[in-house]
Structure 1
């Protein structure tokens, strides 16, 4: 069973409500990844930016992007992870896909829609977490505002890695930095956060700060510029830290309802 995962986080500005240009952008960025990679992580709503007007998009764009993710996952023999706008059953979802190299696509609908921006009025909130087994690691992917809610991220299933994809703006970036470390420490997991950079059409600025934190909250990688951020996750680090510091064994027992 593999003992390490090589992670690539793609931190870039996004073209507003322009899926085709964004797919082309990420295709070019993926071509520049020089080292073997197991997981490629893209930001929240990586084909559109954080739009509250999904009706401006072709309803088929979600299917087109999932097919693109499957193509890239196969091409690079790596999982591709990111959230996009999905239209399904007459409703819109901010839906994250974890696509494996064999084409299997697992999805998670954002549980905590961002009320400050009215996301709760536009997108249907999800109700279930997702845990994906991939190359010897159990991974739980979540979306942006979910980061503020520790109970939802609580490690009750022996998770190894939390992944947050985001459009997290500059005025609240200290919270992003702090909470990524907190989620790593309290759950004794690697915590990965991928944010965009640049300004969107609504005037919000995004400073990046994509990061990888280990089980003790130490940063293994961090960036504030347009680039691909890489890091190695080591299963031995998880096992040894939990064995030495048995904090998870003292968790309170409760059930989410």
Structure 2
């Protein structure tokens, strides 16, 4: 178990529907990290951008991107997470993968599909909330539009870190900032969000604002960057336990069950 977890947030432009080019790009970025980090976080659909053109871009779970993640995680002794387009049982999923150095693969399928872009017409929704146990940290996996739905992310499991990977456009980036902070405060957990930058193939612009907030909603990254950047930040379990002990807000949470 590690009391301190070091995160690397890679805020990046993405080559539209070009998995090989994006894997090569992220290989270079990950290799450039000189610090010893525990977890590298990539954006939503990091091999393609947020495309509804799933058929030519989807991969199986034994495809090149999963193998790339496994190889790089083992080689660099880090965990890697981000979402990709996965085809499984004749369905397409916007799937967040969490690959450890030991080759263990956690997976979360995006529950809230973005109807404004007709994502639900192409992809199947996830049905299960996923908590990963990594180095003694309970980590909740979420994708982009999930950020707008606090009931789904409600901290009934006692997780310490919630991750959101995204393609969240510039036009609504103010909501991204507010909601990341809100999810941290209401769940008394670290909240990390990794968003892309640049233009996508549908003409939407992205300005990042990748960030980490502590369990009181304090921004612990030093800025909200709008350009290509790697942010390194450490999160501390003792700090989280201290505020949870002093302010027992989670003890007063409403009891409910999602049907």
Q: Which residue number in structure 1 is paired with residue 248 of structure 2?
A: 246
SS of match in other structure, 1:65: helix
| Deviation at residue 59 of structure 1 after TM alignment | 4.2
Structure 2 length normalisation: TM-score? 0.97
Looking at structure 2, the residues matched to 6 and 188 of structure 1 have their Cα atoms a distance apart, in angstroms, of 19
Q: Deviations over 1:133-164 (max 9, x none)?
A: 11121000100000000000000011000000
SS of match in other structure, 2:220: strand
Contact 2:46 2:82 in 1 (8 A): yes
Q: Deviations over 1:68-114 (max 9, x none)?
A: 01111111111100000001111110000010110010100000000
SS of match in other structure, 2:55: helix
Looking at structure 2, the residues matched to 19 and 181 of structure 1 have their Cα atoms a distance apart, in angstroms, of 31
Q: Does 1:139 align with 2:139?
A: yes
Contact 1:62 1:87 in 2 (8 A): no
Superposed CA RMSD: 1.1
SS of match in other structure, 1:103: coil
Q: Which residue number in structure 2 is paired with residue 125 of structure 1?
A: 125
| Deviation at residue 57 of structure 1 after TM alignment | 2.3
Q: Which residue number in structure 1 is paired with residue 29 of structure 2?
A: 29
SS of match in other structure, 1:54: coil
Contact 2:58 2:86 in 1 (8 A): no
Q: Which residue number in structure 1 is paired with residue 237 of structure 2?
A: 235
Looking at structure 2, the residues matched to 211 and 138 of structure 1 have their Cα atoms a distance apart, in angstroms, of 19
Could you list the structure 1 runs, at least 4 aligned residues long, displaced by more than 2 angstroms after superposition: 56-62
Contact 2:150 2:183 in 1 (8 A): yes
Distance 1:61 1:28, change over 3 A: farther
Contact 1:73 1:103 in 2 (8 A): yes
Distance 1:247 1:116, change over 3 A: same
- Counting matched residue pairs gives 257
Structure 1 length normalisation: TM-score? 0.98
Distance 1:55 1:136, change over 3 A: same
Q: Which residue number in structure 1 is paired with residue 71 of structure 2?
A: 71
Distance 1:123 1:135, change over 3 A: same
| Deviation at residue 127 of structure 1 after TM alignment | 0.4
| Higher deviation after alignment, 61-70 or 203-212 | 61-70
Q: Deviations over 1:172-223 (max 9, x none)?
A: 1010000000000000000000000000010000000000000011111132
Q: Which residue number in structure 1 is paired with residue 51 of structure 2?
A: 51
Structure 1 spans left out of the alignment, 5+ residues: none
Looking at structure 2, the residues matched to 128 and 191 of structure 1 have their Cα atoms a distance apart, in angstroms, of 20
Q: Does 1:256 align with 2:242?
A: no
Looking at structure 2, the residues matched to 209 and 8 of structure 1 have their Cα atoms a distance apart, in angstroms, of 14
